[in-house]
Structure 1
């Protein structure tokens, strides 16, 4: 990956629907060169998909939270398959530390959150944190922005 690939990734994180012409203007390459680079990033698995960002509150799910779960069952694969079937859970990460998984949930009300937590209790002990706001999301780590771990200031 060179600086152009990193610039393309940052631009696509900002707007996954940007045209090749728009991306080309942002990274100072031709549209065909951008199309070729994006195709290579997709083929190599660097770009894994394009996703819509959704305001959960505007679709009736104003309460979002992070839930840490310490899985009690040693057959965690079976538990993870069961968790995948719970519609309120929007993502799940296997993690290190006291908890086994970190999940994000979106619900319409506090009673719905309570029901979700009651449902999760069959799989182990949980700890829940309500999300108050999200100051930023979906950005590249600094090491991918410029390739050397040093932040570049004042550049778009």
Structure 2
């Protein structure tokens, strides 16, 4: 169970994982060394699994953000899963319950590329497309 200080550390690291241990310590009322020890402990316990960056997809030329509910056509999902592994536009592939079998979060540079993707996807599964209008 995490105490209040550990929760604050996670909150601060979630905002900025590049923060120095000294700055982190100041924010959670610890020394830099004590903050570093707490972070190391959280990493050892598997609470912190890694650090990442947030990329602005629009600035990379991917202006279309889509969620695609996927309904597989058979109980054998392997052809679909193999297809998914080869597609660079997929941000996340979630296995879900409810209306579909999977939920894809994707980014596309153009409607033409989206159409190509959906044509290929339709060889493996049916789908329902939702386009993000605004965040």
TM over 0.5, yes or no?
Answer: yes
**Does 2:122 align with 1:121?**
yes
Shift of 1:78: 4.8
| Contact persistence 1:73–1:79 (CA under 8 A) | no
Deviation beyond 4 Å, 4+ runs, structure 1: none
Q: What is the rounded CA distance, in whole Å, between the counterparts of 1:61 and 1:115 in structure 2?
A: 15
Q: What is the rounded CA distance, in whole Å, between the counterparts of 2:92 and 2:129 in structure 1?
A: 14
Q: What is the rounded CA distance, in whole Å, between the counterparts of 2:79 and 2:43 in structure 1?
A: 31
Structure 1 residues not aligned, in runs of 5+: 135-156
| 1:16/1:96 CA distance change after superposition, 3 Å | same
CA RMSD of superposed structures (Å): 1.4
Q: What is the rounded CA distance, in whole Å, between the counterparts of 1:87 and 1:80 in structure 2?
A: 13
Shift of 1:29: 1.1
Shift of 1:63: 0.8
| Contact persistence 2:80–2:125 (CA under 8 A) | no
Aligned partner of 1:35 in structure 2 is 36
Q: TM-score, normalised by structure 2?
A: 0.91
Q: Deviations over 1:46-80 (max 9, x none)?
A: 11211111111101111111111012232224532
Q: What is the rounded CA distance, in whole Å, between the counterparts of 1:120 and 1:14 in structure 2?
A: 36
**Does 2:64 align with 1:63?**
yes
Shift of 1:128: 1.2
| Contact persistence 1:63–1:108 (CA under 8 A) | yes
Aligned partner of 2:101 in structure 1 is 100
